[in-house]
């Protein structure tokens, strides 16, 4: 394992935290984000910063875009992945969009969208039942040719499913990210088993065409460690490249801390071949101090390097407080920002 003090990882650290959310749930009855927001993915498009993110309204997930000029102040643009309860589609409940295919996977290049076969591509997962992550989710790939990124086409069936997998992923699939290397597409995803107190781990599959996927025989390629802080979850991969090293900003969960609670926190793992990963021993972004916006969890990374500074967007949670705009089951769940430097 890599120590937190290792000089190799200092350039990935983001110790400065913006003190308030950059996005939060609307609290508006009937809105897609009435209770919470989640899962940021930040990129640049048409001379503007965009954030793909997920809203929760008690029935399930739907996904939207927000825009910003400065990475701090964000304005909702549109819901682009909606619920279709009247249909019999596999994704009728809606879905959580987690990733778009990028021009470059380099950490040090501002992420921009890549056209494949003349289309932009978006990864999402959808659950079969209403409620909070109800039932085993499957993964879909949507596409658009619309430069405004508003008119998306959704597949009639999942592109990747737990139904074809093994016991460690039989409980359903969560966030996926897709990168390209040596002419192949690689999808990293986390999944859970079917135990009541389930475990989440990260697997990988590859494809020549974004349609036909082959699972890695060594799955899960990133596993939980029963003697570590990530003893139950190694989840939500966010994979970028630094020279000849692949870097995964993931989140781990499992250890009970001195406050009597377990906390999801951001971890880091490095690889040279996408198959074998070495983890950093402790979290690189810990849960926050009591009362702060991430005192519950700090997890689900999206990283962007801009003007010489690494921006680390993530989902932060804490117990609900008086005056909060929205809440889900007693929790204030928002999208937060940490930085390599204090840019606010």
CA distance 249 to 45: 23
Identify the residue whose tokens are 């990133």: 222
CA angle (295 as vertex; 231, 258 as ends), nearest 5: 55
Please give the pLDDT value at position 343: 85
Please give the pLDDT value at position 198: 97
pLDDT-based confidence at residue 336 (cuts at 50, 70, 90): very high
Please give the pLDDT value at position 186: 98
pLDDT-based confidence at residue 85 (cuts at 50, 70, 90): very high
Please give the pLDDT value at position 134: 96
DSSP 2: B
**3-state helix vs strand vs coil in the chain, percent to 5:** 5, 45, 50
pLDDT tens digits along 1-41: 999 999 999 999 999 999 999 999 999 999 999 999 999 99
Please give the pLDDT value at position 223: 98
Overall average pLDDT of the 235-248 stretch? 98
CA distance 279 to 271: 9
Backbone angles phi, psi at 266, to 5 degrees: -80, 130
Contacts of 338 (CB under 8 A, 6+ apart): 14, 15, 16, 17, 18, 285, 311, 312, 314
Is the peptide bond between 85 and the residue preceding it cis, with omega within 30 degrees of 0? no
DSSP 269-311: EEESSSSS-EEBSS-SB----TTSTTSSEEEEEEEEEETTEEE
**Strand pairing class (75-81; 184-192):** unpaired
pLDDT tens digits along 258-272: 999 999 999 999 999
Overall average pLDDT of the 220-242 stretch? 97
Please give the pLDDT value at position 169: 98
Overall average pLDDT of the 158-178 stretch? 98
CB-based contact 311:42 (threshold 8 Å): yes
In this structure, what token pair is assigned to residue 75? 């304005």
């Amino acid at each position: 394992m890599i120590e937190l003090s290792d000089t190799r990882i200092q350039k990935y650290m983001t110790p400065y935290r913006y003190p308030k959310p950059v996005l939060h749930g609307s609290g508006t009855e009937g809105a897609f984000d009435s209770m919470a927001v989640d899962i940021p993915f930040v990129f640049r498009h048409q001379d503007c910063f965009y954030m793909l993110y997920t809203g929760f309204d008690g029935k399930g997930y739907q996904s939207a875009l927000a825009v910003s000029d400065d990475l701090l102040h964000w304005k909702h643009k549109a819901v682009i992945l909606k619920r279709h309860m009247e249909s019999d589609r596999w994704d009728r409940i809606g879905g959580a969009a987690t990733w778009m295919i990028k021009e470059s996977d380099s950490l040090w290049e501002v992420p921009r969208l890549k056209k494949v076969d003349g289309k932009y591509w978006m990864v999402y997962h959808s659950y079969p039942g209403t409620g909070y992550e109800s039932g085993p989710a499957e993964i879909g790939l949507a596409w658009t040719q619309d430069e405004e990124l508003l008119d998306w086409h959704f597949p009639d069936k999942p592109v990747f499913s737990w139904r074809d997998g093994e016991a460690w992923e039989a409980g359903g699939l969560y966030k996926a990210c897709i990168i390209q290397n040596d002419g192949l597409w690689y999808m990293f995803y986390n999944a859970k088993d079917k135990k009541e107190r389930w475990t989440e781990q990260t697997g990988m599959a590859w494809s020549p065409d974004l349609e036909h996927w082959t699972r890695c025989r060594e799955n899960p390629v990133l596993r939980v460690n029963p003697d570590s802080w990530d003893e139950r979850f190694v989840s939500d991969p966010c994979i970028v490249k630094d020279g000849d090293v692949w870097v995964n900003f993931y989140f781990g969960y499992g250890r009970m801390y001195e406050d009597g609670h377990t906390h999801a926190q951001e971890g880091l793992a490095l690889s040279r071949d996408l198959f074998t990963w070495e983890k950093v021993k402790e979290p690189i972004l810990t849960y926050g101090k009591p009362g702060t916006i991430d005192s519950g969890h700090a997890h689900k990374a999206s990283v962007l390097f801009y003007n010489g500074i690494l921006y680390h967007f993530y989902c932060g949670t804490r117990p609900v407080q008086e005056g909060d705009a929205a809440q889900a089951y007693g929790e204030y769940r928002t999208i937060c920002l940490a930085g390599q430097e204090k840019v606010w």
